[in-house]
Chain A
């Protein structure tokens, strides 16, 4: 006989602020794990590795991320291409996209007992908005309907190392990931370094309030993966290797 793992126990949903008052079912069995980090920090690679491992161990896993809702992702892409949308408008657009994913995908999966692995969450959206001058409190309250995840990792990578990885990935710097809309520098490279530095600083400021676990992302894929997997397995608390007690 094995004790029920944490995975199987029902928990009430916890929200950051005002929550979702009209939500009828507020008990979940699944667990929400978030991986945050800048562009090219290795998030998606890690999520792939973790997903396979968790599935091999017998967990049901759902992946989610930003800009993936059917509802608005297209609109966000269009808006970004034309560079005509204001910073608050764009933030609200992202919030709508996130809310759609949260209510139509994340919460149902958690209710059904899935482990939800989120490639970025509200923290990226808040950091981007705050460094563009939107108030911290406004941003925090805006995402007051968001679920408090069970685990949040932040892959911290030095901006100089990041540039390197971005170039390995696609040989050019992305307009928004370089903060080009902020007029930080005429030089795209310099703009990227400054912008990523500002974002990292904001993540460090959020660390305590939102319980971010900072992971040294300057290491190799395998090293980072071992670190993350160990922490996730010990959280899910399902036996010595994270396997279900079958």
Chain B
């Protein structure tokens, strides 16, 4: 058979084939307000998947090395506007996405993300950015295979956070929104508004809701079962672990 000629059209076609995201991996993410217990759960899930020899990659919000320093510098000066605040976090996300999430999904990893685009959808909109604008900024990001949303009443989440950490940072408390002069009161109102945003996405973004008031073990069991169900419908993963019955 004659070899295909190296015409520019063929080259273009081959490049397109490379760029086409034929994902072999799976993306599982967790969302919820601070103190909802999501980080604890995804860490447990990660440990378990690793133990089962499944290739796993873990990534979390606001953790890209190169962008993080600049964000923390900007936050110290407290001169971030809702738009720059949003764009800096979008830069952090893009860096982790281009560097890790996208290539690893294509390589067949199970990628676990502690917070994903929905954190931006919730926070930036509460801060006053246009919801359509924020969704466009993250419009290139692949949809997760499972998006766990940890539903917890604001007061419980608030109390969990207050138990461990008596000080609140400026942006964390939403002080830039002028909700209240008292950081604690501001934080409580801010978190409440974020919960409203999350709740409005449950249907449209197909969240798998986890009752964050259950004990840690019960939550983890539900999560593992959901992940196994998802992996079972997935040919690339050869070894599917069993969820031990308690």
Q: Mark B67-106, 1 if CB is under 8 A from A, else 0.
A: 1011001100101111110011011001101110000000
State the majority secondary structure of interface residues on A.
helix
> Which residue of the partner chain B has the closest CB to A22?
B128
* A79→B136 CA distance, assembly (Å): 24
B136: nearest chain-A partner, CB-CB:
A141
Tell me the bound Cα distance from A89 to B97 in angstroms.
Answer: 9
Partner of B139 from A18, A138, A145 at Cβ < 8 Å: A138
Within the assembled complex, what's the spacing in Å between the Cα atoms of A78 and B69? 12
In the complex, which residues of chain A have a beta carbon less than 8 angstroms from the beta carbon of B140? Answer: 88, 135, 138
Q: CB < 8 Å: which of A71, A84, A145 contacts B70? A: A71
| CB < 8 Å neighbour of B87 from A92, A135, A138 | A92
| Cβ of A95 under 8 Å from chain B | yes
Q: Which residues of chain A have C-beta atoms less than 8 A from B237's C-beta? A: none
Residue in chain A with minimal CB distance to B82: A22
Within 8 A of B (CB), among A78-113: 78-79, 82, 84-89, 92-93, 95-96, 99-100, 103-104
Which of B66, B69, B77 makes the CB contact (< 8 A) with A85? Answer: B66
CA distance A86 to B99 in the complex (A): 7
Interface size on A, residues (CB 8 A): 34
In the complex, whether A12 has a CB less than 8 A from a CB of chain B is: no
Size range of the chain B interface in the assembly: 20 to 34
**C-alpha gap A27/B129 in the complex (Å):** 19
List the A side residues contacting B74 at CB < 8 Å. Answer: 71-72
Contact assessment for B98 and A96 in the assembled complex, using a CB-CB cutoff below 8 Å: no
Once bound together, how far apart are the Cα atoms of A92 and B88, in whole Å? 7
- The one of A79, A100, A138, A144 in contact with B84, judged by C-beta atoms closer than 8 angstroms, is A100
* Interface presence of B132 (CB below 8 A): yes
B230 CB to closest chain A CB (Å) equals: 27
Q: How far is the CA of A85 from the CA of B88 in the complex (A)?
A: 14
Q: For residue A17, which residues in chain B have a CB less than 8 angstroms away from its CB?
A: 133
Least CB separation from B134: chain A residue: A18
Tell me how far the C-beta of A111 lies from the nearest C-beta in chain B, rounded to whole angstroms: 15
Q: Does A245 reach chain B (CB closer than 8 Å)?
A: no
Please tell me if A20 contacts chain B, counting CB pairs below 8 Å: yes
Question: Smallest CB-CB separation from A95: which chain B residue?
Answer: B87
Closest chain-A Cβ to B10's Cβ sits at a distance in Å of 18
Instruction: Check A86–B95 contact: CB distance below 8 A.
Output: yes
B196 within 8 A of A: no
B225 to chain A, nearest CB (A): 35
On whether the beta carbons of B81 and A99 are closer than 8 Å, the reply is: yes
Instruction: Report which A residues bind B (CB closer than 8 A).
Output: 17-22, 70-72, 74-75, 78-79, 82, 84-89, 92-93, 95-96, 99-100, 103-104, 135, 138, 141-142, 144-145
Question: 8 tightest CB-CB pairs across the interface, nearest first?
Answer: A86-B98, A22-B128, A96-B87, A18-B130, A141-B136, A18-B133, A75-B70, A92-B91
Q: Taking beta carbons and an 8 Å cutoff, which residues of B are in contact with A?
A: 66-67, 69-70, 73-74, 77, 79-84, 87-88, 90-91, 94-95, 97-99, 127-130, 132-133, 136-137, 139-140
Q: Can you show 12 pairs from A to B with CB atoms below 8 A apart?
A: A71-B70, A71-B74, A71-B79, A71-B84, A72-B74, A86-B94, A87-B98, A92-B90, A93-B67, A100-B81, A104-B79, A145-B83
